[in-house]
Amino acid sequence: MKTLIVGAGVIGSIYGWALSRGGYDVTHFVRPGKSPQLIKGIPIDILDSRKRYDKQYIGHYDLKVTEALNSSEGFEFVIIPTKPYQVEDALRQIIPYTEGANYLLLTQNWNGTAAIDSLLPQSRYVYGDAKAGGSFQNATLTSAIFPTIDLGQVNGRKDNSLTQTATLLDSIGIKPILQDNILHYIWVQYAINAGLWPALVRAGGLEALLRDHRTGDLSLFAVKECLEVVARRGVDLKRYPDARMYSNTSLIARQIAGLMLRLLFRFNKSVQRSSAHALADRQEIKMSYYALLNTGRELGVDMPTMSSFEKDITRFADSHRN
């Protein structure tokens, strides 16, 4: 299957590498002037949790790139692994050259799909939650890939695009977990991230947060507030296991949740790698923070902990301009 991937960032490169090694024809669409930087490929160091694959791959990804699209290329499948605020622009650039292709959107969503639906029929796109992640360290992609991915179409659709996406990923050892309501699932993940990021910002990073139990405690309260916003939107949180550890803020529950998170991030090397870029995008962090805070205010959710982080977020976002 001829596949086009937008960009050659962390997520796009991980999935491009996995698909290429699976025998698929993959091309990365990159911004003008980027191609010369990639002509020699990308050194990679990937921890691989997929079954029947080597636990670690250290080598090279000789990716194929293009800065200009042509309809004659005949791409059958497109992966867009971008930030939420970049999806629409990516679609506008690509749709004219990928007639008939199906799309996998490896991105978050908080505002619904009206803008996307105005560009692309719901039957042709699938949302996915990319559990893979990492960062570029000294030009080497240092990352992790996991054996599952959550997929789904909006409004509970089950079109050919979903079947095609699931089959493609399953063929490279990534088992699809199909979500009946993919937006509800994504909103839960979005809320958890939005609640954890402010504490990371205040602490100054993941390692510092793991040592700072007071700020870590506040992060659990912040996530609980964010999940309450999701519940007010009509999401049944009981259906999503990821939400359970944040739903109870009793002292014992907080201690257990804090211990679980510290153990996970301290001893699971794949999780450590996949979360290494947690504070990389200041714009995304600021946007997600205010998305939850403002929606919470509109829905009448009391969010004292999230509100207490506002100066931290403003300072963090403004420091990018200096």
pLDDT score recorded for residue 242: 85
* Torsion sign over Cα 234, 235, 239, 244: negative
Predicted pLDDT of residue 131 = 85
Distance of CA 5 to the CA centre of its chain: 15
Tell me how far apart the alpha carbons of residues 288 and 306 are, in angstroms, rounded to a whole number: 12
- Signed CA dihedral, 233, 228, 246, 11: sign only: positive
pLDDT of residue 259: 62
| pLDDT tens series, the chain, 322 aa | 899 999 999 999 999 999 999 999 999 999 999 999 999 999 999 999 999 999 999 999 999 999 999 999 999 999 999 999 999 999 999 999 998 999 999 999 999 999 999 999 999 999 999 888 999 999 999 999 999 999 999 999 999 999 999 999 999 999 999 999 999 999 999 999 999 999 989 988 877 877 888 888 898 899 999 999 999 999 999 999 888 877 766 656 656 566 666 665 665 677 666 775 666 788 999 999 999 999 999 999 999 999 999 999 999 988 755 4
- Rounded to whole angstroms, how far apart are CA atoms 306 and 179? 28
CB 78 within 8 A of CB 102: yes
Q: How far is CA 44 from CA 26, 48, 95, in A?
A: 17, 12, 30
CA distances to 42, 111, 181, 233, 253 from 186, rounded to whole Å, are 30, 11, 9, 13, 24
Residue 178: which of 194, 192, 158 has the closest Cα? 158
Residue 304's H or E segment, with its range, is helix 304-308
Instruction: Report pLDDT for 266.
Output: 62
d(CA 320, CA 322): 6
Predicted confidence at residue 248, as pLDDT, reads 67
109: Cβ contacts below 8 Å, ≥ 6 apart: 84, 127, 183, 186, 187, 190
Q: How far is Cα of residue 34 from the mean position of the Cα atoms in its chain?
A: 23
Phi-psi region of 204 (alpha: psi -120 to 50; beta: other; left: phi over 0): left
pTM: 0.91
One-letter amino acid identity for 29? F
149, 175 Cβ separation under 8 angstroms = yes
Domain boundaries, the chain: 2-180, 184-319
- Pairwise CA distance, residues 68 & 308, whole Å: 46
Nearest Cα to Cα of residue 134 among 42, 241, 37:
42
Asked if residue 237 lies in contact with residue 226, where contact means CB atoms within 8 angstroms, the answer is no
Contact 257, 245 (CB under 8 A): yes
Taking the C-alpha atoms of residue 190 and residue 288, their distance in angstroms, rounded to an integer, is 8
- Alpha-carbon radius of gyration of the chain: 20
Which of the following CATH numbers is that of domain 2-180: 3.90.25.10, 3.40.50.720, 2.60.120.890, 1.10.357.10? 3.40.50.720
Give me the sign of the Cα torsion angle 196, 13, 138, 284. negative
Query: What pLDDT shows up at residue 205?
Result: 81
d(CA 102, CA 76): 7
